[in-house]
């Protein structure tokens, strides 16, 4: 979740580190800092934004250093708890992402040996351990420190007098960017794209020692080589391109994201899908695992697979599966993760493999950890997603899950062809919704005046009610709940008043008539109701206060058009309230701790 950067080369490190940190602001952070190599490890840090840190800095000609944006886990946001952390002498500095599970025991041991700690963080034990073992060479000291550590980590260590970065990774993402006689280290690709598009994705157990001219990579004490990947998108694609916020830009990119996800999987001439994955897997059920927004995509995927494949499908929150006694049996396990680095999803993926299941990952990031663990990979090809609130990656995940369902479907060729034709038209349907942006913005301004909102739906759109509520709460800070419409009367009705609006997704499927009855019950409690309803549905206007219109599509694909309308609704509600839409408080883009 934290942003990690490092630089060593022939240029001044300070402006490069600051720029790299700015490229990682979308990950979410509460403090930041840098350390530059000199006679000591010169540290500048505080619980401030990067721009404020930059203004406080004096020119420095150091050609190596490290930087960090912290998302608090151990200790509140403060200058003392901000990274980098140093040893007693201020000679060794470390930036770290992850959780050191045995830090209390290590801290007690090191304190008894004369070490003095300043912060509440788990990270601070790392530079003290390195100091303990340092005998004139940084790399072996880091290796000995790692032997004492239990938990997850991605970190960079530097030491005054040593012109090198020592980098280690276990269960947290870390890359090395290879430039022209310079190297960059980062927790995510966007940090380095201003300088290089060539990256190495480190794997668990990797340790790298990097100098100005070379780097050495080892694993389990043996020198190794890792593949150098070309990043398939540019820094320009990760810019706002004139939009006020990344979230709005990424909502508008959804038609293209759908088209990119289709590419290479659907035949242009025949109603056929070739996902390029093994077809001889023997399984009698499917288990899908994910977190957050990806979990909501998985729930939609369950409906689609049940309908088209007619095979049992179970969906688990990865964070819960990891501590459950779930019996998978002869399962195909699908893990859905935008980043491919979500800690809970990676743990679930590893557990499924240990249980002997065939694993398939649906992800957006080439070379991510999940792609190196799973047996098969499906890339959604949504392009870089910078806003913390996921939008285009969610829609692309839906498309990929539809493709999985259609590829394994038991329906006849004609029916499959008809659905594929409709699927190909979804980008055009989304453009129609984007043309109504101003109208939806008006509804957002209306909702901005409330503190509590319910989102309701039935069937395949129930997960979209969950997603709509999640989008609203994470970027507008309005308390929102997603509910299956039939469940409101089992308790939440007690909260319905004139001051509690309801957003109802009125899809024209087999749940429509029952949903109308539910809406009547809500109106009887005087709650204002905004309906998301398809064009041509005149009946809905009799029962609700406002209607947001979406194009008519096959009910199977209605989640795609409905969620796009809800994304815009959440965006304009948050904008009206003046919220920091791309970087909501306390949240991070890539959740790399459990």
Task: Give a yes or no: residue 589 inside a domain.
Answer: no
Same structural domain for residues 376 and 247?
A: yes
- Residue 84: cis peptide before it, omega within 30 degrees of 0: yes
Same structural domain for residues 260 and 365?
A: yes
**pLDDT at residue 590 in the model:** 59
Same structural domain for residues 76 and 138?
A: yes
Give dist(CA 25, CA 33) in Å, integer: 13
Task: Give a yes or no: residue 100 inside a domain.
Answer: yes
Residue ranges of the chain whose pLDDT lies below 70: 1, 26-28, 233-238, 268-270, 588-594
pLDDT tens per residue, range 543-585: 999 999 999 999 999 999 999 999 999 999 999 999 999 888 8
Same structural domain for residues 407 and 490?
A: no
Give dist(CA 414, CA 270) in Å, integer: 10
Same structural domain for residues 287 and 328?
A: yes
Q: Does the pTM exceed 0.95?
A: no
Same structural domain for residues 420 and 444?
A: no
Task: Give a yes or no: residue 524 inside a domain.
Answer: yes
Judge residue 586's burial from the number of C-beta atoms within 10 Å of its C-beta, 0-12 exposed, 13-18 middle, 19 or more buried: exposed
Q: Give 317's strand partners.
A: 290
Task: Give a yes or no: residue 429 inside a domain.
Answer: no
Same structural domain for residues 419 and 438?
A: no
**pLDDT at residue 13 in the model:** 95
**pLDDT at residue 350 in the model:** 92
**pLDDT at residue 213 in the model:** 83
CATH classification of the domain holding 256? 3.40.50.10490
Same structural domain for residues 225 and 281?
A: no
Task: Give a yes or no: residue 587 inside a domain.
Answer: no
**pLDDT at residue 269 in the model:** 67
The yes-or-no answer on residue 2 being catalytic is yes
Same structural domain for residues 255 and 222?
A: no
Domain end position, chosen among 424, 445, 467: 424
CA-based torsion, 543, 549, 551, 556: positive or negative: negative
Domain end position, chosen among 394, 424, 454: 424
Task: Give a yes or no: residue 382 inside a domain.
Answer: yes
User: Domain containing 492: what range?
Assistant: 434-581
Helix axes 437-447, 558-576, angle to 10 degrees: 60
Same structural domain for residues 224 and 242?
A: no
Task: Give the count of domains, the chain.
Answer: 3
**pLDDT at residue 238 in the model:** 64
CATH classification of the domain holding 40? 3.60.20.10
Same structural domain for residues 112 and 159?
A: yes
Catalytic residue among 22, 351, 575, 589: 589
**pLDDT at residue 589 in the model:** 59
Q: How many CB atoms lie within 10 A of CB 368?
A: 26
**pLDDT at residue 158 in the model:** 95
Task: Give a yes or no: residue 388 inside a domain.
Answer: yes
Domain end position, chosen among 424, 442, 477: 424
Same structural domain for residues 201 and 280?
A: no
Catalytic residue among 2, 20, 291, 579: 2
Token pair 């002498």: residue: 89
């Amino acid at each position: 979740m934290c942003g990690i950067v490092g630089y060593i080369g022939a240029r001044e490190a300070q402006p490069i580190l600051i720029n790299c940190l700015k490229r990682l602001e979308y990950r979410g952070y509460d403090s930041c800092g840098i350390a530059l190599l000199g006679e000591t490890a010169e540290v500048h840090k505080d619980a401030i934004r990067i721009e404020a840190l930059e203004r406080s800095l004096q020119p420095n000609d150091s050609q190596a250093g490290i930087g960090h944006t912290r998302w608090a886990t151990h200790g509140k946001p403060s200058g003392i708890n901000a990274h980098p952390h140093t040893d007693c002498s201020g000679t060794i500095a470390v930036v770290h992402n992850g959780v050191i599970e045995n830090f209390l025991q290590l801290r007690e041991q090191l304190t008894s040996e004369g070490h003095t700690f300043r912060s509440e963080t788990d990270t601070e034990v790392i530079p003290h351990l390195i100091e303990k073992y340092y005998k004139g060479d940084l790399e072996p000291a880091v290796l000995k420190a790692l032997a004492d550590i239990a938990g997850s980590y991605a970190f960079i260590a530097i030491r005054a007098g040593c012109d090198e970065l020592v980098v280690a990774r276990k269960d947290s993402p870390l890359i090395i960017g290879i430039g022209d006689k310079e190297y960059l280290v980062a927790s995510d690709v966007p940090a380095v794209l201003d300088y290089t598009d060539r990256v190495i994705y480190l794997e668990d157990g990797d340790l790298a020692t990097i100098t100005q001219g070379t780097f050495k990579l080892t694993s389990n004490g043996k020198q190794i080589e890792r593949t150098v990947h070309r990043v398939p998108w540019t820094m320009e694609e990760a810019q706002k391109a004139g939009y006020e916020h990344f979230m709005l830009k990424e909502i508008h990119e959804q038609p293209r994201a759908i088209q990119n996800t289709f590419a290479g999987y659907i035949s242009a001439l025949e109603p056929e899908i070739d996902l390029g994955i093994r077809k001889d897997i023997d399984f009698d059920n499917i288990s899908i695992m994910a977190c957050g927004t990806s979990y909501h995509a998985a729930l939609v995927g369950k409906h689609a697979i049940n309908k088209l494949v007619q095979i049992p499908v179970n969906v688990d929150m990865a964070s819960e599966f990891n501590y459950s006694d779930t019996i998978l049996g002869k399962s195909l396990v699908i893990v859905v993760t935008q980043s491919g680095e979500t800690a809970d999803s990676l743990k679930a993926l590893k557990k499924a493999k240990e249980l002997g299941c065939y694993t398939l990952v649906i992800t957006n990031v080439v070379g991510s950890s999940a792609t190196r663990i799973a047996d098969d990979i499906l890339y959604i090809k949504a392009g870089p997603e910078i806003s913390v609130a996921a939008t285009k990656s969610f829609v692309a995940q839906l498309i990929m899950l539809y493709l999985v369902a259609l590829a394994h479907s038991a329906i006849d060729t004609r029916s499959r062809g008809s659905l594929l034709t409709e699927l190909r038209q979804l980008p055009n349907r989304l453009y129609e919704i984007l043309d109504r942006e101003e109208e939806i913005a008006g509804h957002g301004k209306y909702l901005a005046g409330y503190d509590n909102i319910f989102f309701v739906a039935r069937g395949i759109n129930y997960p979209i009610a969950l997603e709509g509520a999640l989008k609203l709460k994470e970027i507008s800070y309005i308390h929102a709940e997603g509910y299956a419409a039939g469940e409101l009367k089992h308790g939440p009705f007690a909260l319905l008043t004139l001051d509690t609006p309801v957003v109802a997704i009125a899809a024209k499927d087999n749940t429509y008539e029952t949903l109308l009855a539910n809406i009547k019950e809500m109106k009887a409690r005087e709650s204002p109701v905004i309906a998301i309803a398809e064009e041509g549905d005149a009946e809905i206007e009799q029962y609700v206060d406002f209607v947001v219109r979406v194009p008519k599509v096959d009910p199977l694909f209605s989640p795609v058009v409905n969620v796009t309308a809800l994304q815009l609704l959440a965006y304009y509600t948050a904008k009206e309230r003046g919220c920091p839409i791309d970087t909501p408080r306390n949240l991070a883009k890539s959740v790399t701790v459990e």
